[in-house]
Structure 1
Amino acid sequence: MSTATTAPAVTLAKETPLPAEPVPSPRTNKPARARAVELQGFRGLAALSTVVFHVWQQYYTYDAAGAHPPVDNPYLGAVISLEVIDLFFVMSAYLLTLSYARAAIDGPAAGGSGVRSGRDFLFRRAIRILPLYFLAVLVVWSSRNPTLPGDWRDLVGHLTFTHVFDRDRIFYTLGPTWSLSLEVAFYLALVAIGPLAIRACRRLATRRARVALCLSGCAALFAVPVLWISYAHYVMEVPYTDWPVYFGPQARFGGFAAGMALAVLLVALGERGRVDARVATPLSLAALGGLLALSYTADPENVPHTYYHPLAALLWFVLLFATLHLRERDGRRVRWHGLLRARWVTGVGLISYSLYIWHEPVMLELDKWGLLPRGQLGFAAGTLIVVAVAAAAGTVSYWLIEYPAGLLGKARDARGARREFYPDSDGVRRSA
């Protein structure tokens, strides 16, 4: 998990959820706002799925009973092993790219939304993730390094989000937070690429040309990781256990690219081409079936395993499209959306970032104190214990740390610090 003796096994783990992203305001994207509850539900289910898998991994890899699945059922294993990191990458990129997509494609004259300055955008992202993250890193690292200087490189790597490039320490301290390093890299990429895309689109006379340019850019960003993975695996024959090669942004940016493309596509379509329940349901089931088939067939070094994440990103793209581009009158007619809107599911979605941060330390402490039942029959009880304790810790963490930190962003906006702008062709930022 997060220590030197257990780090390698984390690579088997389901990828972990990322911080909840703010939903678009009604003014900027009414259709997406209508589906915001479903997105929160996706986040909640994925967060729970992640916790369950890490418990499965704990029993699978470290239980004295032996290294075999807690439940010898390959179909159940495929469900539990279903990757969710790409879902979080796609959702995050979709929500954060919407304003850039509207500004690039439609601009202010056609009702395109304003875009935060890079400084304001990064400030809001920083207060969203850093207070809880830094606190957790310091607490967990200190508990595992009681004498100074300890593994100071591990601490520095986590505090600077560079541990994803450290083959030995990528999964130390807070093992799941390697994925947060990629999220931070995406924030920096977006504030650089977004304004450039807006300026480039302003030079194009037709809306169709602007849409084509944006989608082409997203396709290129998606292709880069695919080419990198192909080169690393088939040409250089780099083993999958060389974690930075396959876990770094150069290999995992495809999920963000798919989310950016989803934002561009939905802005481009607007109210056109919305799917009804008769189309959304089979489309969603086909995407879920594809994800489960991908999880079931992926074995180390085979093609589904090698290209798992680009393929998963495309399937999550399809599932989210069927959810977000649904006709408004059919919003309550897709039966499985009732699960996404369930209060307990959206409640877990609300605390998903805190759950993401704390569930692994909670699980390891419970195991250390002998509070997780052993053996195959203990997996179900152990899962319930970890979920209950981690959810309680996540709830407390949300209200004591996340929520107060979020108020800083609202206070900044209330003081007029937020500026919406559109870069004109001369590159000057002008307030909306």
Structure 2
Amino acid sequence: MSTVSTAPVRPAPPAAPKRPEQPARARNGEIQGFRGLAALSTVVFHVWQQYFTYDRDGSHPPVANRYANALVSLEVIDFFFVLSAYLLTLSYAKAAIDGASTRPARTFLFRRAVRIVPLYFLAVAFVWATRNPTLPGEWTDLVRHLTFTQVFDKEQIFYTIGPTWSLSLEIMFYFALVALGPLAVRATRPLKRRSARVAVCAAGCALLYIGPFLWIAVARYGFHVPHTEWPVYFGPQARFGAFAAGMGLAVAAVALGDRGRLGPRSAIVLRLAAAAGLYTLSLTGEKAQDPATVFYHPLSALLWTLLLFSTVHVRRHGRWSAWLTTRWITLVGMASYSLFVWHEPIMLALYRGGLLPPSGQEGFPLAVVVVLAVAVPVALLSYWAIEYPASLLARLKDSRGRPREFYPEAAARP
């Protein structure tokens, strides 16, 4: 005789809420730390430019030792392009390769505008007004900066806030991404094999990278265009290679997934190789005609991509990660955009006001300390007073680009 148990069945315990994955938290902290280091390096680089002099006998950098000079003169703008493209392309790469969904272009552009425009417009208006106390002033410069077109002007590309020429390229990249991203998704949709979808995305990134590389080669060696023709070498046709490298990194990260994460030894080797390559480019590119100078930006973009990949796409986050996520570095990273926008006007105001040491090799180290001592606190204040409040505007729209209903119960009332 069989019997049936009548003992009550215990309900399954409620599932514990999922915590964010440790690698994701570590990656976000590392990226913030990277931003902080890159922003600090940008300040040092522009102080170096301010103290760099030329004469008939040659150039005189503010650091006598050429090996130390190569370190402080290392330009990091391509890192910001690579990082921006990597982060913003991830969703499109996931959609093209694995069929994930993407946000509407209007939502993407709205959130990028909220992130970039308020601080930028305020800073440009303030700096331009202080340098043009009587109207009409350099009104064409103001128009170009407010329309993000200063990168196409040979004379005024570095006016008002010099480093913000790069924001012109950022804005152009945003529009290029919302055009190319959905196009890549549609192109890969009929492909059944995942490897084929990865190949299509990787080939597109490679073509976008090779184009600027060829443009630079033809301009320099084919038409002998001098390096002072800024629109030729600073425009999107020459600098989009860094964005293409970042897009390729996003494709590689999605294609490899967690199974392709680097082990500790491989990550260390790649980091050292990337750092050595960047330093070598800076060391050997002393003159405008040197190949390391001519092709510095597309080559450095690849090296920054390698360094970023070997930092965020690893199995275990060790000492390098712990150092990048140090509180003071991530704090600077949080305010890196404000530091990027304000540091040059601050440096020039201090210099013209006699608050920085006079030009010369003896004055450069102290000038770096003084500019950082003023610019970093100003950047933190700018972040909390301007950037953070402006970022709250992004909450006005949901992920589908529709106006967010903050009080649905109130809207339901008659």
Query: When the two structures are superposed, what TM-score results if normalisation uses the length of structure 2?
Result: 0.89
1:195 aligned partner: 182
For 1:223, the equivalent position in structure 2 comes to: 210
1:309 paired with 2:291, answer no
The reply to whether residue 283 of structure 1 matches residue 283 of structure 2 is no
The alpha-carbon distance between structure 1 residues 75 and 407, as it changes in their structure 2 partners (threshold 3 A), is: same
1:377 Cα offset (Å): 2.4
Deviation at 1:416, TM superposition (A): 7.3
The answer to whether structure 1 residue 412 and structure 2 residue 397 are counterparts is: yes
**Amino acid in structure 2 at the alignment position of 1:417:** R
Cα RMSD (Å): 2.1
* Equivalent-residue separation in structure 1 for 2:194 and 2:395 (angstroms): 34
Q: Residue 382 of structure 2 aligns to which amino acid in structure 1?
A: S
- Which of structures 1 and 2 has the bigger CA Rg? 2
Higher mean displacement: 176-185 or 272-281: 272-281
Aligned match for 2:105, one of 118, 123, 127: 118
Q: Distance in 1 between matches of 2:288 and 2:20?
A: 43
Give me the whole-angstrom Cα distance separating, in 2, the residues matched to 1:338 and 1:378.
Answer: 34
Q: Deviation per CA, 1:341-367, whole angstroms, max 9, x where unpaired?
A: 111111110000000000000011111
The corresponding residue for 1:90 is 82
Match of 2:39 in 1: 47
* 2:354 alignment partner, SS class: coil
C-alpha deviation, 1:279, in angstroms: 1.3
Distance in 2 (CA, whole Å) between partners of 1:71 and 1:262 is 35
Residue identity matched to 2:379: G
Q: How does 1:32-431 map to 2 (within 5 A)?
A: 32-61=24-53, 68-107=60-99, 112=100, 114-298=101-285, 299-327=287-315, 330-331=316-317, 333=318, 335-374=319-358, 375-413=360-398, 417=402
- C-alpha distance in 1 between matches for 2:103 and 2:373: 38
> Helix, strand or coil: the match of 1:300?
coil
Three-state SS of the structure 1 residue aligned to 2:357 is coil
Match of residue 5 from structure 2: none
Q: Specify the SS of the correspondent of 1:204.
A: coil
**Are the counterparts in 2 of residues 116 and 418 from structure 1 also a CA contact under 8 Å?**
no
Gaps of 5+ in 2: 1-17, 405-414
Tell me, what secondary structure is at the counterpart of 2:158? Answer: coil
284-293 vs 372-381, which moves further: 372-381
The worse-fitting range, judged by mean Cα deviation, of 51-60 and 251-260 is 51-60
Hey, what's the Cα distance between the residues in 2 that align with 1:377 and 1:81?
Answer: 16
Are the structure 2 counterparts of residues 348 and 62 from structure 1 closer, same or farther at C-alpha, using a change threshold of 3 Å?
farther
- Answer yes or no: is the 8 Å Cα contact 1:291–1:312 preserved in 2: yes
- Give a deviation string over 1:61-101, Cα, whole Å, max 9, x none: 399xx962222011111111112111111110000000000
Letter matched to residue 36 of structure 2: G
Count matched residues: 383
Give 2:171's aligned amino acid: V
Name the amino acid aligned to 2:40: L
Q: Give the TM-score taking structure 1 as reference length.
A: 0.85
